[in-house]
Amino acid sequence: MILIVLAAVCIITVPITGGHLSRLSELPLRWLWMAPAALVLQTVIVTIVPGGNERLHAAAHVASYLLVGAFLWGNRHIAGVKLIAVGALSNTLAILANGGVMPAARTAQHLAGLAESGGFQNSAAVSHPSLLWLGDIIPVPGPLPNVMSIGDCIIFFGLLTLLHRQCRRPALAPA
């Protein structure tokens, strides 16, 4: 949930700085169906049907990142997308190194006030995590507690770059 709030904050900064969100409609997006498909897949495995075959859930989690990766590759020509891709790749590496789950630092989870729940979790404390420094190590306490990764931070910086480059006022023509 906090990731959605942070994305909304990124979007809100556009009109505050004089940009126009309507310019997003001019983005020449390719393979647009892949991003929502990845989101639906993650929602299904984490929220709708978290129980079941853990290997199948982990494979679906990795597949959702592959869909996002393909979408980002197809849109690499857009300002900010390469940064978003670096963050997504960072997250993907951590997930692949840990059997399809983003490793989370127990300390970060504790500081954020999170408790492990049953069923498949896309982010979880794993025994003997690999690449934990790329995992969810940044605690976000508060009303929407969560843990974030360095990759998530890079993704949001890329999103800000994309939004502000695409939505800024056009340059004035020389007089």
> DSSP states of 132-174 as a string?
GGGSEEEEE-SSS-EEEEHHHHHHHHHHHHHHHHHHSPPPPPP
Tell me how far apart the alpha carbons of residues 7 and 155 are, in angstroms, rounded to a whole number: 10
Mean per-residue pLDDT for 17-39?
A: 95
Amino acid at 51: G
Decide if 24 contacts 167 (C-beta within 8 A).
Answer: yes
pLDDT at 1 exceeding the cut of 80: no
**Residue bearing tokens 């023509």:** 173
* Model confidence, pTM: 0.91
pLDDT at 172 exceeding the cut of 70: no
What percent of the chain has a predicted confidence (pLDDT) above 70?
A: 97
Q: What is the pLDDT of residues 148-168, one digit of tens each?
A: 999 999 999 999 999 999 999
**Residue bearing tokens 């951590």:** 94
Nearest to 72 by CA among 61, 84, 62: 84
Using CA of residue 73, residue 74, residue 76, residue 79, what is the dihedral sign? Answer: negative
Where does the pLDDT of residue 2 fall: very low under 50, low under 70, confident under 90, or very high at 90 and above? confident
